[in-house]
Amino acid sequence: MTEQLSSGAAPHATASPTGWGKLWREPARPDWIRRRPGAPWLVVATVCIGAFMGQLDASIVTLAVPSIRSDMNASLAQVEWVALIYLLVLVGSISAVGRLADMVGRKLLYTYGFGLFTLASLGCALAPDITWLLVARAVQAVGAAMLQANSVALIRTSMPVGKLGKAIGLQGAAQAIGLAMGPSVGGLLIGLGGWRWVFFVNIPAGIIGLLLGWFLLPRTHVKAPRARLDWPGLLALMPAVGTLLLALSEASRLGFGNLTVLGLLAAALILFVVFVLRERRAKHPLVDLSLFSSGTFTRGVTTGLLGYLVLFGVLFVTPLHLESEYFLPPAQAGLILTVLPVALGLVAPVAGLLADRLGARLPASAGMGLVAAALALLVFSSHDLWVTAGALAAMGLGLGLFTPANNASVAAAGHDHQAGMVSGVLNMTRGIGTSLGVALGAAAYSLANALGASAEAPAVSGLGFRMAVALFAVLAVSAAALSFLGRRARPQVVPDAPDRSEPG
């Protein structure tokens, strides 16, 4: 099957494009790369660079906020948007980018995503004022969406049968390492050269990723039929996601009972209903709702959201607890917290192998069960620093078991020409889960203060921490139960899966 036939072009339309046209056509890999037995793993390695940089950048920027505020003489509200606008644009646009990639080519959008992300990082680093920085961050988020919407899709369409779990496990390990290194690398860069180096560091990595993507990634051999992008669906989805994330951001500060937060949540719900109604009638929907008719896909997306919620909720509340309960400085608190993503990164590749051999149900349900047990230990033994560190490590091991298996089961859903759409939904879920975890964690602290446990800050913090962790433990048990309900069978090859030995 040639690229032209799979994308719906006429068989005779094989003339090579010239000039600017070459920029919109995916180049084939060199023969010496394509013929290598390990060529699929070169795809995984390339994707892991983007996964690593995405998580590193996310965790670094939060450390730079105080320096940006001081250097640019900006208000706190303005500086908060440096992180918020990135998340809003990324999560709001990622499904549309995935759908577009299915039609025009995942390699094309992934490599250009690296280029856009790199140029926007340069714009952030050279920003003369806060307005420039916010615009550059929005553009950077579009580049990140082009990377994230295609990362899992490229792995899914490149790996041979029986290797998908291991490959996604390696990608998960790269994400965990980036997340773990963010605080230490960010602190070092800010200390040595200031906050602008937080963005300068993306430039060499982005150039390397762009070049590797251009030469090592395969062309998209099975494309979705060319059709107009579902603009009405996008115009409903983006404000729906944006309103929801804004509501969750405000809820982390004001609480869920605030009228503004409740109004935003109601508006988000209405917009999501409008989006679903639109997608049910659309001839070429942004998100094919028939995917959710599969119990495996629906369970995977739901448990994935719960997993990200628990992970980032704990990452939010634990530093507050360590600093107030043990009076640890931020650097030491961050070092203890690092055991969680390190443990996740160590076990994720092994978990991927288990998922390939046993199916997703056992490692996913066992992993979330271990997370629930670790959180229960934190609830009852949060006054012992060593127990806290051990529980965080156990939680990392559990999430390392759960995430690759669950993501592999979701990634295998649908047809190959829907891989970008599926990847976009998966990553949108992660963004919403991240925000929801932070909001719920903050709400637990607010509730503890409202209950007036004590006038002493450590006691209030301790109660808030235990309330948040207990809530996360219940959610982890729910995710474990849902994962256990899944089928034991390993993901099967979809009917239109391409020949992995095709040129390019």
CATH of 30-224, one of 1.10.10.60, 1.20.120.420, 3.90.1640.30, 1.20.1250.20: 1.20.1250.20
Q: Is the pLDDT of residue 294 over 50?
A: yes
Look at residue 414 in the predicted model and tell me its pLDDT.
66
At a CB cut-off of 8 Å and minimum separation 6, what does 309 contact?
433, 434, 436, 437, 440, 472, 475
Q: Helix (H, G, I), strand (E, B), or coil: what is residue 274?
A: helix
Q: Is the pLDDT of residue 139 over 90?
A: yes
- In order, the DSSP letters of 383-410 are T-HHHHHHHHHHHHHHHHHHHHHHHHHH
Average pLDDT for 422-435 = 81
Residue-wise pLDDT tens digits, 350-361: 888 887 888 778
Single pTM value for the model: 0.79
Burial code of 148-172, b = ≥16 C-beta within 10 A, e = fewer?
bbbbbbbbbbbbeeebbbbbbbbbb
* Both structure tokens of 142: 């579009």
Query: 384: burial class by Cβ within 10 Å (0-12, 13-18, 19+)?
Result: exposed
Which has the higher per-residue pLDDT, 383 or 262? Answer: 262
* Both structure tokens of 357: 């051999």
Name the residue among 415, 418, 412, 502 with its Cα closest to residue 106: 418
Look at residue 12 in the predicted model and tell me its pLDDT.
36
Decide if 429 contacts 326 (C-beta within 8 A): no
Using CA atoms, how far apart are residues 410 and 301, in angstroms rounded to an integer?
7
49-63, 306-320, 478-492 — which is least confidently predicted? 478-492
Which has the higher per-residue pLDDT, 323 or 242? Answer: 242
Decide if 437 contacts 307 (C-beta within 8 A): no
Round the CA-based radius of gyration of the chain to a whole number and report it.
22
Instruction: Tell me if 30-224 shares its fold with 287-494.
Output: yes
Decide if 96 contacts 286 (C-beta within 8 A): yes
Q: Is the pLDDT of residue 501 over 50?
A: no
Residue linked to tokens 């729906």? 240
Sign, Cα dihedral of 45, 51, 57, 59:
negative
Number of H helices, E strands in the chain: 18, 0
CATH class of 287-494: mainly alpha
47-51, 229-233, 317-321, 414-418 — which is least confidently predicted? 414-418
- What is the distance, to the nearest Å, from the Cα of residue 30 to the centroid of all Cα atoms in its chain? 31
Name the residue among 84, 80, 103, 428 with its Cα closest to residue 272: 428
Residue-wise pLDDT tens digits, 232-257: 888 888 888 888 888 887 887 777 88
Amino acid at 462: G
* Both structure tokens of 241: 């996601």
Query: 192: burial class by Cβ within 10 Å (0-12, 13-18, 19+)?
Result: exposed
Average pLDDT for 440-450 = 72
Calculate the alpha carbon distances from 393 to 175, 239, 349, 428 in Å: 16, 37, 16, 27
Q: Is the pLDDT of residue 9 over 70?
A: no
Residue 142 — very low, low, confident or very high, per pLDDT cuts 50/70/90?
very high
Average pLDDT for 367-384 = 87
Q: Is the pLDDT of residue 138 over 50?
A: yes
Residue-wise pLDDT tens digits, 454-488: 445 445 557 778 888 999 999 999 999 998 886 54
Decide if 244 contacts 432 (C-beta within 8 A): yes
166-180, 238-252, 338-352, 483-497 — which is least confidently predicted? 483-497
Residue 7 — very low, low, confident or very high, per pLDDT cuts 50/70/90?
very low
Query: Per-domain residue ranges for the chain?
Result: 30-224, 230-284, 287-494
Look at residue 488 in the predicted model and tell me its pLDDT.
47
Look at residue 331 in the predicted model and tell me its pLDDT.
65
Percent of the chain exceeding pLDDT 70 equals 85
4-18, 124-138, 280-294, 463-477 — which is least confidently predicted? 4-18
